[in-house]
Structure 1
């Protein structure tokens, strides 16, 4: 009986992680649609733009200041940041909840981003700070098991 209970709990946790990774794939695909609009504004080179489309791949390093500028631009398209280029908690919750099963991810996503922002709060250059926050978020999302596989994102791209 105990082993059945343990197995049920483990399967529930694995199912939740897969569910949140799937939601994250929708969020990423939709959010990424604003990238081309923000390329010129943020100064992204075509090479970095191409790489950025693979944000969740293991070998993609989130280090270029221009990525931070692009993320700010993209976030502003969806009203996800406050005027100080920090997360707007309510708008981010609402944005993530707008995707299928988004409610299972919204609180965790806001928590991870907020925690990362606190770590780099002393960086005054918005683009430099946001790229550090994005790298932190990517690392923490992977640790939490909510980072999507690139194939998951590609599977939902046509919806957005």
Structure 2
């Protein structure tokens, strides 16, 4: 009975560490990706209010609904070559981007898979900005369900590195 209990604790600790590890990696990805927001503000037509809100993307009360956010995400993604010409995710470049962060390999497959699944749901939308904002909203929900979404405090803690 004790050995089963110990084994269960080891498994639970491993799973908890894995989830925390992916959320930590996601905080690095988010902080680095967010640095391109200022460069894309004018190009995407973000109002100061939406710009301020966007910096809190992972907060529960932030709704990912504004078309301008989709335009900003496209601009930001293009700064890191994360999209193809049709404004859909470039899988190889996204894997490489995520893997470039400390322990990025633990998140890369999951992140690309979640984004890809969201892209499939909205593939029929022809307006790139509308489609991308819906994909981002879908990704946020799915990332939270999967336990890989970072806490706002995590992102703030790594912001100074980028």
Range class of TM-score, shorter chain: over 0.9
CA offset digits 1:88-111 (Å, max 9, x no partner)? 000000000000000000010000
Aligned pairs for 1:44-59 (under 5 A) are 44-59=46-61
**Equivalent in the alignment of 1:88:** 90
Q: Which of structure 1's runs of 4+ aligned residues deviate more than 3 A?
A: none
Count of aligned residue pairs for this structure pair: 160
**Equivalent in the alignment of 2:18:** 16
**Equivalent in the alignment of 1:158:** 160
The Cα RMSD (Å) is 0.4
Normalising by structure 2, we get a TM-score of 0.98
Instruction: State the secondary structure of the residue aligned to 1:103.
Output: helix
Normalising by structure 1, we get a TM-score of 0.99
Q: Name stretches of at least 5 consecutive residues in structure 1 with no aligned partner.
A: none
2: CA distance between counterparts of 1:154 and 1:108? 23
CA offset digits 1:119-147 (Å, max 9, x no partner)? 11011100000000000000000000000
1: CA distance between counterparts of 2:85 and 2:53? 28
Q: Name stretches of at least 5 consecutive residues in structure 2 with no aligned partner.
A: none
CA offset digits 1:46-88 (Å, max 9, x no partner)? 0000000000000000000000000000000000000000000
Aligned-pair distance for 1:3? 1.5
